[in-house]
Amino acid sequence: MKKTACLITCLALIAGGTAFAQTTPQTQPTTQTQNAEPRALSDKAMSTRLQTDIGKRNTSIGNNPVSWYDAGYGYYGTYSLDNQQYMARYDRQGNYVETLTRREWNDQIPQSTRDAFTNSSYGTQRVTGYWESTDPGRKGSYYELSDATGKTSRVWNDGTGKFSNQPTGSTSASPKP
């Protein structure tokens, strides 16, 4: 009888522990693609490669500084020319993807673009930065947002009204150490 009671108690403890493990929410580590603050690119070889490529693509850059970042899904560099801000995007292998131009978020932005944002799940946030793709044949935009608590979000629009926390065609990848 004691053995049966002990066995039942053990089984109850095991079943309870298993049920707890199944219902306890698992927290995922934050990655760069989950709106973490972008990190300065620390890979010197990649930084040099990207700098050389953007200099060939846009000879106007000359000695203007480009700030390079690791976004997890790829790299991007920001720079200014003639009072205009630009963002050059590269994939994880260092291949050029596109260049975006920063624009003021105002009534000069097409109404369809503003409506797509307003009707998205991000529509209650304030747009603090808006960038449009300027490459021929490419559509899309990048938004820097601030919620009511001041928390920053970064989202992409694929040009058809779909929003995501990473650019279209990107695959999640862990940033290099």
**Residue 116: helix, strand or coil by DSSP?**
helix
- The pTM of this model reads 0.74
Q: Give the integer Cα–Cα distance in Å for 55 and 47.
A: 12
**Spatial CB neighbours of 51, under 8 Å, sequence gap ≥ 6:** 66, 68, 77
pLDDT in tens, the chain (177 residues): 555 444 454 444 444 444 444 433 333 333 344 456 789 999 999 999 999 999 999 999 998 899 999 999 999 999 999 999 999 999 999 999 999 999 999 999 999 999 999 999 999 999 999 999 999 989 899 999 999 999 999 999 998 889 999 887 665 443 332
Please state the domain extents for the chain.
Answer: 32-164
- What was the pLDDT predicted at 133? 94
pLDDT number for residue 171: 53
**Looking at residue 6, what is its pLDDT?**
47
Assigned CATH for 32-164: 3.10.450
For the chain, give the longest Cα–Cα distance: 88
What is the reported pLDDT for 4? 47
